[in-house]
A and B are shown apart, each in its own frame.
Chain A
Amino acid sequence: MIVAESKPIKELLEMVKDFNRILVVGCKGCVTVCNVGGAKEVAILASSIRISRKKMGREIEVGEHTLERQCDPEYVDELKDMIGGYEAVISIACGVGPQFLSERYPSSKIFPGVNTQFMGGAEEHGIWSERCAGCGTCVVHYFGGLCPIARCSKSLLNGPCGGSSNGKCEISKDVECIWDLIVRKMMEQDRLDELIEFKPPKSWMTARDGGPRRMIREELVK
């Protein structure tokens, strides 16, 4: 899933300080799963804004709505009859959400309510970590099913570097050295010969480096 975290409430209040009618829009996709942008969080954020304004003695109307997904035009369409009544819209979906809203409703002022972090998963309840860098050409099979592009601080394809220590990365004791895991796993599986093989430079053309990406599946296009 795409993992995000809430923007600090102070930052959000500052963003919308000039508006008195605000719509908070959630998403039932990834951000609901990582407890940051679903219906529950929409309600919490709306209340926080109301309370803060009340303390300031300023009137405010905060609307709440949660879409099935903000990354699909058919769901984004749902807002068409209500969005015009608000001066500002806070999207608490991943970074895709505010952009789909901005594109569909060009006259609305859209603000992001979360900071989108990475593509990853839940290690346990409340802990998420990165797994995929979206490079566009998956190579995890060379590395025991683990991705050094997303998970090595230097994206080394021929690691581990000299900074690997006690299974941790040189940048922080809180970051595991993925190459330590790769080497141990490949050695356990008796695949040292594969690991010793030189991995040539990767083409980043399919990654973000090749420019913004677009995918067309002809068989699905009407």
Chain B
Amino acid sequence: MSEYKSGSNLEKVLRAGHFAFTGECGPPQGANVEHLKEKAGHLKGCVDAVNVTDNQTAVVRMSSWAASIILLQEGLEPNFQMVCRDRNRLAIQSDILGVYSLGIRNMLCLSGDHQKFGNHPEAKNVFDIDSMQLIHTVKTMRDEGKFLNGQDIDVSPELFIGAASNPFAEPFDFRVYRLAKKIAAGADFIQTQCIYNMDKFREFIKRAVDMGLHEKCYILAGVTPMKSVGMALYMAKQVPGMDVPDTLIKRLRGAGKGNVAEEGIRFALEQIEEFKEMEGVAGVHLMAIEWEHKVPEIAERAGVLPRPTV
């Protein structure tokens, strides 16, 4: 066991060579624990770990660490997300120690959406460190047993370190280098932004493979099934760094009334099939946004059930 970096289920599944399947669950905008449990319940047994978002889109929600603990109590493995927008390096390091102490073993390091998007645009942001430095901070704490100031930590937090990568943001040519930089900084696994432009992603992953990045890190391809044409248009036009090809929008439109969601799922399933065979892809990160109850069906139809136990 000791050769594991964290011993998390996700790490074990990936290390054993299984095609990983992770999910996502946004904490409630309130203290509605029952609703959180219900949403997370749909994912139980269907995924290897559940990302718990951290005030995503800069909207205040139950804290990601608290929601992660609730998931843990429910028998799910959380992938605790942390953004740099809301915490300085003191809070970051103390939260890292805190979540590890409470049993969290996976952590995804993000910069965070700017507060201008959210429901408190008047807020002051922090960004004391960036996502790259956050990855490096966790690695330093885990592997060297040191805080950022160089002081010793008595018991190190053994976390499986995750990072995000957006192959579709610009400049495209630099994206694979930034991925390499995150891996060099200490990322053990990567979850990509939602993929819709498969051509562009194939090119991206080819470059990553050419650089040998897939051998240094597990890359999970991000999949978010489209629920409606409206959602596709919103993603295409309103979400920065999102690449939704017209052909997909046409395909969804062509499905006709009442069939769009099914067509969206079919597209996601086709993607997952391709990712299973794609060199450099170690799994899929399924972000079924406010569609958690569909995850069992998608997982079943994608042929990723039952999930392996390692």
Contact = CB atoms under 8 A, between A and B. Distances in A.
A163 B240 contact: yes
Interface residues of A, number: 32
B95 interface: no
A163 B177 CA distance: 16
Interface residues of B, number: 37
Interface stretch (B69-77, B112-120, B226-234): B112-120
Interface in B180-205: 180-181, 184-185, 193
Contact of A154 (B117, B125, B180, B184): B125
A192 B114 contact: no
A187 B173 contact: yes
Contact of A164 (B113, B130, B169): B169
A155 B111 CA distance: 10
A155 B89 CA distance: 15
A159 B175 CA distance: 10
A171 B241 contact: no
Contacts of B260: none
A201 interface: yes
Interface of B: 84-85, 89, 111-114, 116-117, 125, 127-133, 136-137, 148, 164-166, 169-171, 173-174, 177-178, 180-181, 184-185, 193, 240-241
Contact of A155 (B112, B127, B171): B127
Interface in A166-211: 166-168, 170-172, 177, 180, 183-184, 187, 192, 195-196, 198-201, 204
The 7 closest A-B pairs by CB, nearest first: A162-B166, A158-B132, A170-B240, A163-B240, A156-B130, A201-B129, A162-B169
A158 B130 contact: yes
A157 B166 CA distance: 17
Interface in A129-165: 153-165
17 contacts: A154-B84, A154-B111, A154-B114, A154-B125, A154-B127, A156-B111, A156-B127, A156-B131, A161-B131, A162-B164, A166-B170, A170-B117, A171-B114, A187-B174, A196-B177, A201-B128, A201-B129
B130 A163 contact: no
A184 B173 CA distance: 10
